[in-house]
Structure 1
């Protein structure tokens, strides 16, 4: 077998594969014999089908399959051995050659490949980025404490409505045979301040007329009335009569030992000041993720701006069509710019990995899966503490899903690249309150 490649230009190349009978016949003969042992055909005992019969009946099909596997394997090895940074996968080039497929042909195949463009990584020890230590301001801290208290509060049915209550009410369109729906309405999602004020001070069986399009976003209105967003947009009469059936209010939990023990280990927190400090610590730990995400975004923007490259766009379009036969020309063109952006950052990440000998290990992917599973469990039950053994089992099950496994591997790679860049560049740290940080993000 002879395999080589020639560059068409800096980002396009052609791989040439030449096969002589001695290159493929041993593999074909081996597969024909294997098929003869496994074949179950009328008139022959199992495992006793003559090799010649298999060759006459299925030989050309086996020859085609084995040559295809042989060529693909050799191309893969060739790309690896020659350290070719290819984009997509090799695509066969059509030619006019005619083959008899009689085990005597000399085959010549050509495959086009797209090459990653050459570029220099822009990240150096002199590159500067801002990094923020985000502090919880009083408003953010108060909101978090309120949400925690409401999460462990109790539902009551007061006689008179207040802002933030949930009204169980009937909405009836102000016209004959109009829409009518009895449902729960959260007053905190009302957009119009005047309408929101009109829903305060209501009692059971009280009625008030409201303009539902002013009161609610389209998606909220559709959900409340049980109609589609298109139908909500097209409402001809937007005045509805709202009649209160019941008032629901979530009372905040008292700041007592029972409440503290629900959130933390029993006896760990015994007074309000300790509780506030714990919540502050929790919130600021979460803010570290916000800070890291902004730094990652800044690094992404910097890298994308500084790396100016051209891609083999025509090849990539052909490859995308070959791997997604149902994609239309319109869909391809609409998503192609985003595809190139993603590809650009991918090759930047891959260059960081290869130039610095970074490696994503299986244990790192497992640990990342465990972190994600743990966070999901705690989201639904703050007091549940899964064992490490349970997390391991869940993580292994998750990684058995190929799509999820690939996603977690790519995430682990991205984190490794991020950690490497953080250690390489110059980080200028400063304190900032969350409200101010939001203006930057």
Structure 2
């Protein structure tokens, strides 16, 4: 068995593997014997079928498996021995010779491989990266207070329906009746919305529900029928307004403080102001940290000045995804892919340079944070810790989720280390200007 390497350029090689009959003779014999031992063929006791029959039935398959096993081992061993920093995986060369799968033949395999360039750069105080300190304005505090009070508000009886109100109505048509239907005026099709504006309890009006409620699923739910029944209904219904509901923001009082922050944690308007400011500050820091991470990525990818085997990578993406993506699709998405790939290499170098590692505990903590955030997004505050823990454990059973969180942790750890090592240039900025940054 012979493996040779032909250099195409600094990053691309062609490997040629030549396998003679004597190389695979013994592996083939063992594999045929194994098939014979396990074969359950009618007319023969288990494991006692003649070898000639086994060769006739399984010879080609055993030959293919034996040779390919040797090819795989040869590739792995050669790559390790030569210490090639391989990109992707070996691919059959475009000039791969035609193979004749006949026992006793010699086989020649050609593979294209590519490697990443060797990285070498410093991370120290000579590196300067901007960190944005976002100002908090009085207008922002006022808006945040109003949004919080709105978030904890409630529906109350109203007089006349406005655009942001709800109407509770009984609707009927030719014997079909739906009572106590809630209609959000703002969700009615714009051309039909005027029919609801200004209405009060006791008012009646006719309306084409097909024109007013264009989403069939929502319309069926409102009429309390199956979606399949909609086509058989006369769309013109009579609406009788039962009452009007107006969403009113919560009053700023102790009951509201307790709902938002927990019992007794805030007791004065001044403390409420402090909590609102803390939330804005935390949100600004999250935005600033995200921007800092993006700037670190850009800075060190540029500093590393990576040259990658792009032609190989494009071909490999098509090959590795087994027809899921065309060459045209890969070409379109390639700029985003290559930037992310460069950062992966730079991040890996930083992790190795400073001896950083991601532990399972890091990944589990990230999963718990994500789960808690998801619950909060659905307004479920104060979820028991044991429920968060079990949800996080279940989440990590999905290998795609595990890898996503692992990469997120690698990002966080690498960027946190960079932040310690470089010179931060703090720059105060308004939120408006911050949002305008490219």
Alignment TM class, shorter chain as reference: 0.7 to 0.9
CA contact (8 A) 1:185 1:224 kept: no
Matches of 1:82 and 1:315 in 2, distance apart?
20
CA contact (8 A) 1:24 1:66 kept: yes
Q: Specify every segment of 5 or more residues in structure 1 that has no aligned partner in the other structure, as ranges.
A: 170-181, 191-195, 208-221, 228-242
Q: Which residue matches 1:139?
A: 139
CA contact (8 A) 1:140 1:434 kept: no
Q: Which residue matches 2:288?
A: 291
* CA apart distance, 1:427: 0.8
Counterparts of residues 42-121 of structure 1 (less than 5 Å): 42-46=42-46, 53-93=53-93, 94-96=95-97, 98-99=99-100, 101-102=102-103, 104-118=104-118, 120-121=120-121
Within the candidate set 378, 381, 400, 1:380 is matched to 378
Within the candidate set 231, 246, 254, 1:257 is matched to 254
Please list the CA deviations of residues 331-354 of structure 1 after superposition, one character each: whole Å capped at 9, or x if unmatched: 233223333333333332233334
Q: Which residue matches 1:348?
A: 346
Counterpart check, 1:303 vs 2:304: no
Q: Which residue matches 1:236?
A: none
Structure 2 vs 1, CA of residues 43 and 304 (structure 1 numbering), >3 Å: closer, same or farther?
same
* CA apart distance, 1:396: 2.9
Please list the CA deviations of residues 268-299 of structure 1 after superposition, one character each: whole Å capped at 9, or x if unmatched: 22223222222322332232211111101212
Matches of 1:345 and 1:116 in 2, distance apart?
13
Normalising by structure 1, report the TM-score: 0.75
* CA apart distance, 1:55: 3.6
Structure 2 vs 1, CA of residues 428 and 95 (structure 1 numbering), >3 Å: closer, same or farther?
closer
* CA apart distance, 1:135: 4.6
Please list the CA deviations of residues 242-274 of structure 1 after superposition, one character each: whole Å capped at 9, or x if unmatched: x99675421112223332222333222222322
CA contact (8 A) 1:121 1:348 kept: no
Matches of 2:30 and 2:142 in 1, distance apart?
74
Q: Which residue matches 2:35?
A: 35
Structure 2 vs 1, CA of residues 255 and 114 (structure 1 numbering), >3 Å: closer, same or farther?
same
Matches of 2:317 and 2:128 in 1, distance apart?
37
Secondary structure of the structure 2 residue equivalent to 1:89: coil
Q: 254-263 vs 364-373, which deviates more?
A: 254-263
Work out the number of aligned pairs and report it: 399
Secondary structure of the structure 2 residue equivalent to 1:285: helix
* CA apart distance, 1:422: 1.4
CA contact (8 A) 1:158 1:248 kept: yes
Structure 2 vs 1, CA of residues 41 and 157 (structure 1 numbering), >3 Å: closer, same or farther?
farther
Counterparts of residues 2-401 of structure 1 (less than 5 Å): 2-21=2-21, 23-46=23-46, 53-93=53-93, 94-96=95-97, 98-99=99-100, 101-102=102-103, 104-118=104-118, 120-121=120-121, 123-161=123-161, 164-165=164-165, 184-186=184-186, 225-226=214-215, 247-324=244-321, 325-387=323-385, 389-401=386-398
* CA apart distance, 1:306: 4.3
Secondary structure of the structure 2 residue equivalent to 1:255: coil
Q: 407-416 vs 89-98, which deviates more?
A: 89-98
Matches of 1:11 and 1:97 in 2, distance apart?
27
CA RMSD in angstroms comes to: 4.0
Matches of 1:393 and 1:358 in 2, distance apart?
28
Normalising by structure 2, report the TM-score: 0.75
CA contact (8 A) 1:132 1:431 kept: yes
* CA apart distance, 1:364: 1.8
Q: Which residue matches 2:435?
A: 438
CA contact (8 A) 1:134 1:287 kept: yes
* CA apart distance, 1:14: 1.5
Q: 251-260 vs 73-82, which deviates more?
A: 73-82
CA contact (8 A) 2:396 2:402 kept: yes
Secondary structure of the structure 1 residue equivalent to 2:111: strand
Structure 2 vs 1, CA of residues 265 and 156 (structure 1 numbering), >3 Å: closer, same or farther?
closer
Q: 24-33 vs 370-379, which deviates more?
A: 24-33
CA contact (8 A) 2:37 2:47 kept: yes
Matches of 2:136 and 2:87 in 1, distance apart?
45
CA contact (8 A) 1:136 1:283 kept: yes
Matches of 2:318 and 2:327 in 1, distance apart?
9
CA contact (8 A) 1:167 1:244 kept: no
Matches of 1:151 and 1:328 in 2, distance apart?
47
Matches of 1:167 and 1:412 in 2, distance apart?
48
Matches of 2:428 and 2:204 in 1, distance apart?
51
Structure 2 vs 1, CA of residues 64 and 264 (structure 1 numbering), >3 Å: closer, same or farther?
same
Secondary structure of the structure 1 residue equivalent to 2:299: helix
